[in-house]
Amino acid sequence: MIKTTGNEKEGQPAKRRFNLSITSLITIALLVYVTYRLITGFGPAPKTIPYSEFKNDLNAGQISSVVISDTSINGSMRDGTAFTTVPVLDPGLTKTLEAQKVQITGQLPSNGGILGFLLTWILPLALMVGLWYFFFGRNRGGGNPMGNIFSFGKSKARIITGEQTGVTFKDVGGAGEAITDLKEVTEFLKNPLHFQRLGGKMPKGVLLVGPPGTGKTLLARAAAGEAGVQFFNLSGAEFVEMFVGVGASRVRDLFNQAKKSAPSIIFIDEIDAIGGRRAGVGAMGAHEEREQTLNQLLAEMDGFETSRGVIVMAATNRPEILDPALLRPGRFDRQIMVDLPDRQGRLEIIEIHARQVIRAENVNLEAIAQITPGFSGADLATLVNEAALLASRNGKDVVEMSDFDAAFERVVAGSEHRTRSITTDEKRVIAVHEAGHALIASLMPNADKVRKVTIVPRGRAMGYTMQLPTNDRYVLGERELAARLTVLVGGRVAEDLEFGEVSTGAVDDLAHATDLARKMVTEFGMSPILGPVRLASDMQANYLSQQLGLDARVSQETATLVDTETRRIIEEAVDEARGHLENHRAVLDQLADMLCEHETVDGAQIDALLEKIEFQEPIAV
Ligand code: ADP
Ligand code: ZN
Ligand code: MG
C-alpha cells in the first residue's frame, strides 16, 4: 500500500438542524399573546397611576367613573382615558367621589369567579407546563399521551414507493461489485418467501461505506427501485433534532411505517451523525440525545425479523467512528465498499450522465474518463452538467469537447479534495509500487492470492493491493508470515529497482513490516538465535521496562539482539523480494503499465500476464 503523508479528513461535520417549524412558532406566540390579553382585558391597557395622582384628578373633577374592588380602583377620566390605581386606606374616599358626582361601581373580590380564576392562574400555569414539556419533556421515549401535539417526533420519512424512486442499477456506473452484493438483497425483497423456503435468513442491515459522492445514496435508491419496494429515507442528522427525545421517537415511527408497508427498505443516510461511538456513563446534553436515538435504533433492529421483508440500509463515509454495537451480527453485519471509480467506472458514470446531453461529434467521453482520476461519481455528474450549462450559456446547440474541458477545469478548481491531483510521474511511482506488492503476492505460494490491485485512491491510501482471504486468519505458519513480509516490502523494493530510490509512500508498509518482524521475534519465538521464549511485554507500553514493548526482565543484551534479529528478518524479506522482482522484471514493468492505463487490475489478469511473458522469456537462474 502506498499512502499520502497528508492527514485529511473525509466527510463533512454532521449538521444539527433546527427544525422548529414556523407554524409552531406562530402558534406559541399567539397563545402567549391571547393569554396576556385575557388577563389584562382587551382594548387599550389602562394607565397605572399613583393613588395621590388619582386623588388630585378626583379633586380636580376629572374622573367620571370608578370600579372599586379590594385590590384595585379602575376607572376612566372625563376625556375617556382609562386608569388603574392601588387603593390605600382612605375612609373619606366615598364622600369625595359622591361630591364630584363620580359614578361608583363596587366589585366583589373575585368577580367572574371561576372564569377569572382560570384566566389568571390556571391558564398561564398550563401554558408554562405545556411549553416546558414541549421543549424538554419529550425524552425518555415511551408512549406519551401528548405525543401528537404538533406531531413533533413524527417521523419525517417521506414515503416513496419503489417505483417512485425511479432509479435502478442502470443509473449507477462503476459500482459493479457493490451492485453484485446488493442484488442478493433486491432478489430477497422481490420474493421473500422463495428465499425463506430453504431456511435462509437475510442480513438485517447493509452498510454502504465509501468516500463522499461515490453514489452510496444513489445505490440505496436504486436497490429500492430495482426491487420495486417502498423506500424510507431519513438521514442521520434528521434524527437528531433540537429537542431531546425526538430522535428516538423518529426511529420508532420510521420502523413502524416501514413494517406496515413491507416489503420495504429503510435507508439511514450518513448514519455517523447518530451512530458514533457512545461516550458511556456521564454523557450529557447533545450526546445524550444522540445516544438515545442510537439505542432506539439498536433496539428496533434487534426487535424485528427480516422475514417480514424489511431491510435496513445505511451509508457512511466514516465507518471508523461508528459504535461497534452497530456492526454486531444481526445489525449492520453486511458491509459493502463503494470506492472511487477507476477509469472504466468513470466512463460508465460519464455515459450515464451524458445520456440526456446533446453532444457534438468531437466529444470523446473516453478522454474525459482518462483525465479524471480521483473524481467521484458526484464530481463527474457535476462536470457533465457544468459542460451542458456552459454550452447553453454560450448559445450553442450542442455541447462540444471544449465545453467539457472548461468544465473539467472548473470542477478541479472548485473542489478542495482534488488538491492532490496526481501527476503522471507520481502515478507511475504508485503503479510500480503496487505492481511490486501484487507481483510478489502472485509469485509466492505461501502468500494470499491477489484479488485486485488498484491505484485508485481510497482514503489516505493512494493505491492498494487487495489479497484473498480478506478475513482474519488465526493460525499462520512461519512461511506464511515470511511471505507476508516479503509482499509488504515488495512495493518499496520495486520502486528501488525501477527508479533507484524509494518514496515516502512506503512508510506504512515499513511500519507494518517492522511490527510483524518484531512480533515474530518477541512473541512467536521464531528467531533461531533468541529461541522460543516470549520477550514481549504483556502491556502495550511498559514504562518500567527500559525497552518499550519488551518484558521488564529482558536484559540489555537480549534487547539488542531483538533489534538485530528484527532487522535480519526484514532484510531477508527485502532480498527475497528483490530476487523475485529482478527475475520477473518484464512482468513488473508491464503490470505497472497496465495499472497506469486501467488503474485497476485483478488477480486473474496478473496470472495471465505472468504466463504470457514467462513463456517467451528464458527464466533467469
Ligand atoms: P454519496 O451518497 O456516496 O455521497 P450520492 O449518491 O449522493 O453520493 O451521489 C451524488 C450524485 O452524484 C448522485 O445523485 C449522482 O448524480 C452522482 N453519482 C455519484 N455516484 C454515481 C455513480 N456511481 N453513478 C452515477 N452517478 C453517480
Ligand atoms: Zn505499499
Ligand atoms: Mg449520500
Q: Does any ligand 1 atom lie closer than 6 A to the CB of residue 214?
A: yes
Residue 202 Cβ contacting ligand 1 at under 6 Å: no
Ligand 3 center to 268 CA (angstroms): 10
- Going by pLDDT thresholds of 50, 70 and 90, the confidence category of residue 14 is very low
Final residue in a domain of this structure, among 106, 121, 150:
106
65 and 165 part of one domain? no
Q: Which residues pair with 458 in a beta bridge?
A: 461
| pLDDT tens per residue across span 480-510 | 889 999 999 999 999 999 999 888 878 889 9
215 Cα to the center of ligand 3, angstroms: 7
349 Cα–ligand 1 center, Å: 9
Residue 204's alpha-carbon distances to 179, 278, 359, in angstroms, are: 17, 22, 44
3-state class (DSSP) for residue 121: helix
Query: By alpha-carbon position, which residue is closest to atom 1 of ligand 1?
Result: 213
Mutate to test the pocket of ligand 1, among 170, 208, 218, 318 (most ligand atoms within 8 A of CB): 218
**How large a percentage of the chain has pLDDT more than 70?**
76
358: region left, alpha or beta (phi > 0 left; psi from -120 to 50 alpha): beta
Q: Give CA angle at 460 (458, 461), nearest 5°.
A: 60
Q: Whose CA is nearest to atom 17 of ligand 1?
A: 378
User: Which ligand lies nearest the alpha carbon of 512?
Assistant: 2
In short, whether 211's Cβ falls inside 6 Å of ligand 1 is no
CB 548 within 8 A of CB 541: yes
Q: In the structure grid, which three cell numbers stand for residue 84, read together?
A: 388603574
* Residues 94, 1 within the same domain: no
Q: State which residues form the domain around 79.
A: 47-106
Task: Note whether residue 503 is domain-resident.
Answer: yes
Dist. CA 576–CA 489, nearest whole Å: 10
Same domain, 604 and 467: yes
Strand stretches in 90-224, DSSP E: 103-106, 158-160, 205-209
Q: Is the pLDDT of residue 473 over 60?
A: no
pLDDT value at residue 370: 85
Which position has the higher pLDDT, 296 or 18? 296
pLDDT number for residue 459:
61
Cα–Cα distance list, 200 to 181, 203, 602 (Å): 16, 10, 31
- The mean predicted confidence, pLDDT, of the chain is 79
User: Is there a single domain that holds both residue 325 and residue 372?
Assistant: no
Per-residue pLDDT, 590: 95
Residue that finishes a domain, picked among 357, 392, 412: 412
Are 391 and 486 part of one and the same domain?
no
Q: Would you list the DSSP string of 219-254?
A: HHHHHHHHHT-EEEEEEHHHHS-SSTTHHHHHHHHH
Please name the residue whose Cα sits nearest to atom 14 of ligand 1: 218
pLDDT digits (tens, 9 = 90+) for 506-556: 888 998 899 899 989 888 888 888 888 878 776 554 444 445 677 777 788
Distance of CA 334 from the midpoint of ligand 3 (Å): 18
Determine if ligand 1 sits within 6 Å of the CB of residue 176: no
Q: Is residue 262, in this structure, part of any structural domain at all? A: yes
Q: Is the CB of 336 under 6 A from ligand 1?
A: no
Phi, psi of 214 (to 5 degrees): -90, 0
318 CB under 6 A from ligand 1? no
Report the pLDDT averaged over residues 253-270: 86
Give the per-residue pLDDT at 583: 93
Confidence of residue 593 (pLDDT cuts 50, 70, 90): very high
Which has more confidence, 415 or 413?
A: 413
Domain limit, last residue, from 391, 412, 433: 412
Contact 120, 39 (CB under 8 A): yes
Q: Which atom of ligand 1 is nearest to the CA of 348?
A: 24
- CA–CA distances in Å: residue 301 to residues 157, 158, 327, 428: 17, 20, 11, 47
CATH code at position 574: 1.20.58.760
Helix (H) or strand (E) run with residue 453 in it: strand 450-454
**Any domain includes 558:** yes
Considering the domain boundaries, does residue 515 fall inside one? yes
Alpha-carbon dihedral 195, 199, 200, 203, rounded to 10 degrees: 110
Specify the pLDDT at position 9. Answer: 40
Residue 172 CA: which ligand 1 atom is closest? Answer: 24
- Amino acid found at 355: R
Residues written for the chain: 621
CA of 438 to the centre of ligand 2 (A): 10
Q: Is the pLDDT of residue 447 over 90?
A: no
Do residues 347 and 333 both lie within one domain?
A: no
Which CATH number does the domain housing residue 68 bear?
3.30.720.210
Report the separation in Å between the CA atom of 380 and the middle of ligand 1, taken as the mean of its atom positions.
9
Q: Please tell me the number of the ligand nearest to residue 376's CA.
A: 1
Alpha helices in 83-155 (DSSP H): 93-99, 113-117, 123-136
Whether 533 is covered by a domain: the verdict is: yes
Structural domain includes residue 123? no
Q: pLDDT tens-digit profile of 318-369?
A: 888 888 888 888 888 889 999 889 889 999 999 999 998 999 988 999 989 9
Q: For ligand 1, what atom is nearest to the CA of residue 345?
A: 23
Q: Are residues 329 and 382 in the same domain?
A: no
Choose among 524, 523, 525, 527: nearest CA to 538.
Answer: 523
Ligand nearest to C-alpha 213: 1
- 209 located within any domain: yes
pLDDT of residue 457: 74
Cβ burial of 232 (10 Å; 0-12, 13-18, 19+) is buried
Ligand found nearest the CA of 493: 2
What integer pLDDT is reported at residue 415 of this predicted model? 57
The C-alpha atoms of residue 165 and residue 170 are separated, in whole angstroms, by: 13
Collapsing DSSP to helix, strand or coil, 283 comes out as: coil
CB of 263 sitting under 6 A from ligand 1: no
Q: What distance in Å separates the CA atoms of residue 605 and residue 621, rounded to the nearest whole number?
A: 25
Mean pLDDT along residues 256-283 = 78
Helix (H) or strand (E) holding 492: helix 478-499
- 281 falls in which pLDDT band (50, 70, 90)? low
Tell which phi-psi region holds residue 549, choosing left (phi > 0), alpha (psi between -120 and 50) or beta: left
Neighbours of 252 (CB within 10 A): 18
Q: Are 231 and 221 in contact (CB under 8 A)?
A: yes
Cα separation, 324 vs 21, whole angstroms: 35
Alpha carbon separation from 405 to 353, 362, 427, 481, 582 (Å, rounded) = 16, 12, 21, 49, 42
Q: What element of type H or E holds 33?
A: helix 22-40
**Residues 457 and 510 reside in one and the same domain:** yes
The percent of residues above 90 in pLDDT, for the chain, comes to: 26
Identify whether the C-beta of residue 2 lies closer than 8 Å to the C-beta of residue 434: yes
- Statement to judge: residues 328 and 354 lie in one domain: no
**Nearest-10 crossing angle of helices 176-190, 216-227:** 30
End-to-end CA distance of the chain: 29
| CATH code assigned at 217 | 3.40.50.300
- Statement to judge: residues 101 and 212 lie in one domain: no
Q: Mean pLDDT, to the nearest integer, of 402-406? A: 90
Average pLDDT over residues 126-138: 65
At 12 the pLDDT is: 39
Ligand 1 atom nearest the C-alpha of 221 is 6
Q: In what order do the strands lie in the sheet with 73-77?
A: 47-48, 82-85, 73-77, 63-68, 103-106
* Residue 136: inside a domain: no
Q: From the alpha carbon of 269, which atom of ligand 1 is closest?
A: 2
Atom nearest to 171 CA in ligand 1 = 25
Contact assessment for residue 57 and residue 85, using Cβ atoms and an 8 Å cutoff: no
Q: Which residues face 74 on adjacent strands?
A: 67, 84
Q: How confident is the model at residue 621 (pLDDT cuts 50, 70, 90)?
A: very low
More confident site: 416 or 588: 588
* 225 Cβ below 6 A of ligand 1: no
Residues linked to residue 379 through DSSP beta bridges, in sequence order:
none
Contacting residues for 366 by C-beta, under 8 A, at least 6 apart: 347
Q: Write the pLDDT tens digit of every residue in 26-70.
A: 777 777 776 666 665 555 667 888 888 888 888 888 888 888 877
- pLDDT confidence of residue 169: 94
- What pLDDT shows up at residue 460? 62
Ligand 1: atom nearest CA of 341 is 23
- If asked whether residues 84 and 180 sit together in one domain, one would say no
Any ligand 1 atom below 6 A from CB of 549:
no
Determine if ligand 1 sits within 6 Å of the CB of residue 349: yes
Q: How far is the centre of ligand 2, averaged over its atoms, from the C-alpha of 1 (Å)?
A: 3
* Burial grade of 488 (CB within 10 A; 0-12, 13-18, 19 or more): buried
Q: What angle do CA 314, 317, 339 make, to 5 degrees?
A: 100
Residues 579, 468, single domain; the answer is yes
**pLDDT at 541 (0 to 100):** 47
How many Å apart are CA 367 and CA 174, to the nearest integer?
16
Q: Cite the active site residues.
A: 434
What is the C-alpha to C-alpha distance for residues 120 and 109, in angstroms, rounded to an integer? 14
Could you report the per-residue pLDDT of 88-110, keeping only the tens digit for each?
Answer: 777 778 778 888 888 888 776 65
Alpha-carbon distance of 550 to 174, in angstroms, equals 48
- pLDDT given at position 219: 95
Nearest to 372 by CA among 333, 405, 335: 405
More reliable by pLDDT, 77 or 39: 77
Residue-wise pLDDT tens digits, 191-203: 877 777 766 677 7
Q: Whose CA is nearest to atom 25 of ligand 1?
A: 172
Counting ligands in written order, the one closest to the CA of 338 is 1
Give the count of domains, the chain: 5
